[in-house]
Amino acid sequence: MTGGVPRRRGRPARTEAETGPGARERILEAAREEFAERGYDKTSVRGIAKAAGVDPALVHHYFGTKDEVFAAAIEVSFEPALVVPAILGEGKDGVGERLARYFVGVWENPVSRAPLLAILRSALTHEAAAKVLRGFVLRRMLERIAADLDVPDPKFRAELAASHMIGIAILRYVVQVEPLATVDPEEIIEMVAPTLQRYLTEA
Amino acid sequence: MTGGVPRRRGRPARTEAETGPGARERILEAAREEFAERGYDKTSVRGIAKAAGVDPALVHHYFGTKDEVFAAAIEVSFEPALVVPAILGEGKDGVGERLARYFVGVWENPVSRAPLLAILRSALTHEAAAKVLRGFVLRRMLERIAADLDVPDPKFRAELAASHMIGIAILRYVVQVEPLATVDPEEIIEMVAPTLQRYLTEA
């Protein structure tokens, strides 16, 4: 699986390549690709480990269950822990535009778009994936956004903003309805920014 | 399939029950249920005919291909031909609220919600269904809306409005993220109406 080295059953022997500093990143990269290509349902920890060239036990060691690898793979695409506080931290003025630009940037980049579409597809067709999206991803991300908002029902507001960006991504990239499918991203940002601004800042 | 009456091959003999005035409606109702339960991929004209108690040839006679039955089944849920001109015909004032109320009403009714979610799921996972949604449904519906709008890029504006309502439906009913999943529909309408109003009426 990872070369010609014979394996014994039981606790896996780990080579330096398998456990070295790049292993975690390789696993995440492999997870993104596996989820994007196969969807949530058909992706396994074993398959991710194989693609990353590591033992499945190492995937469990770093991330835990398949659901947790899934959540981590999504977080890599969005980087909400880094990006969201930065966007909101600059203050109310222009926060709608900054957030619209961030989302559109994530979607426009094919590398981050593929796993995100896979997640959305999976969430719409498998309750287990919907649960991950609901629990790990949206809750963490939306709570981060909501925590910095000075509006009534901040979580509801953050969800309204997210719903709009998700709906645009579906019509633009999946259903591919024209002209939305081919319009310049700047036109989307220009129209959507005031909507997000209102949801996130106006009482 | 439709009872004990013996059938000959070739052009099917039609009983009065099969071709009577209720047959078209029974087929549409059966199509909605089949698409909702089985998804686009696993639904067949034969299965719809069986559920409606008619000959498959009658389904073809009334609607054409499976894709066209699919489109007709969606139109029954939305009734855009009746509703959209009525909503827009009342003038600019309050058009955002009327449209938000109409969409939320369609989604809140479990009878119309089930086939619509099935359509969305299918469109996200099968290119054939996405093509139907793009071609028959969104184009017809959005062009109807756009035709009555006095804004730049009316189709783009109509798509932005639709994307928001689709995204809300996904987060509320499929991903079921809180508080959006359980919030009073009136709160959604109140927040979304000004967004739709701006997209559909402001230059």
Q: What is the pLDDT of residues B50-101, one digit of tens each?
A: 999 999 999 999 999 888 888 888 777 666 666 777 777 777 888 899 989 9
Q: How far is Cα B25 from Cα B171, in angstroms, rounded to an integer?
A: 31
Do the beta carbons of residue B196 and residue B95 sit within 8 Å? yes
Element (H, E) at B108: helix B95-108
Among all chains, which residue has been given the structure tokens 């099917």? Answer: B12
Distance CA A117, CA A88 (A): 25
Tokens at A91, concatenated: 């203050």
Residue B156 contacts A where some CB pair is shorter than 8 Å: yes
Specify whether the CB–CB gap between A106 and A78 falls below 8 A.
yes
Do both B38 and B87 map to the same domain? Answer: no
- Same domain membership, residue B144 and residue B91: yes
Distance from CA of A14 to the nearest CA of B (A): 39
Give yes or no: residues B107 and B138 share one domain: yes
In a domain, A9, yes or no: no
On whether both B125 and B58 belong to a single domain, the answer is no
Average pLDDT of span B131-151: 75
The structure tokens 């930065």 sit at: A86
pLDDT, one tens digit per residue, over B158-194 is: 899 999 999 999 899 888 888 999 999 999 999 999 9
A34 part of a folded domain: no
Q: Are residues B162 and B85 in the same domain?
A: yes
Q: What does the buried/exposed string (b/e) look like for A127-159 if buried means 16 or more CB atoms within 10 Å of the residue's CB?
A: eebbebbbebbbebbbebbbeebeeebbbbbbb
Predicted confidence at residue A193, as pLDDT, reads 97
Closest partner residue to A163 (CB to CB) among B123, B164, B179 is B164
Residues B105, B183, single domain; the answer is: yes
In a domain, residue B7? The reply is no
The one-letter amino acid code at B43 reads T
Q: Residue B111: which domain range? A: 74-201
Q: Is A168 on the interface with B (CB under 8 A)?
A: yes
Nearest CA in chain A to B125: A121
A70-92: burial string, b at 16+ Cβ within 10 Å, e else: bbbbbbebbebeebbeebbeeee
Q: Which residue has the higher pLDDT, B118 or B10?
A: B118
**B10 lies in some domain:** no
pLDDT at res. B1: 43
| Packed helices B66-78 and B45-52: angle between N→C axes, nearest 10 degrees | 60
CB–CB contacts below 8 A, A to B: 126
Cα-Cα-Cα-Cα dihedral of B176, A169, A199, A140, to 10°? 50
Using the 3D structure, point to which of B31, B65, B99 is the last residue of a domain: B65
Report the CATH number at residue B190. Answer: 1.10.357.10
Any domain includes A112: yes
Assigned domain for A7 exists: no
Are the C-beta atoms of A141 and B171 separated by less than 8 Å?
A: no
Q: Domain for residue A152, yes or no?
A: yes
Identify the pLDDT of residue A9: 52
C-alpha Rg value of chain B to the nearest Å? 19
**Residue A47 domain flag:** no
Same domain, B146 and B50: no
Mutate which: B122, B133, B155, B171, vs A, most A CBs within 10 A: B171
Q: Is B83 left (phi over 0), alpha (psi -120 to 50) or beta?
A: alpha
Rg (CA), chain A: 19
Rounded-to-integer distance, Cα B42 and Cα B19, Å: 26
Would you say the ipTM is above 0.90?
no
SS3 assignment, position B111: helix
What pLDDT is attached to residue B191? 96
The CATH number of whichever domain residue B46 belongs to comes to 1.10.10.60
The pLDDT value recorded for residue A47 is: 95
**Count of domains forming chain A:** 1
Which of B33, B80, B68, B67 lies closest to B52 in space, CA to CA? B33
Q: What is the pLDDT along chain A (203 residues), one digit of tens a residue?
A: 444 445 545 555 555 455 666 899 899 889 888 887 887 778 899 999 999 999 999 999 999 988 888 888 877 766 666 677 777 777 788 989 998 998 898 888 887 787 778 777 777 777 777 887 787 667 777 777 777 778 888 889 989 999 999 999 989 988 888 899 999 999 999 999 999 999 998 88
What is the per-residue pLDDT for A1? 43
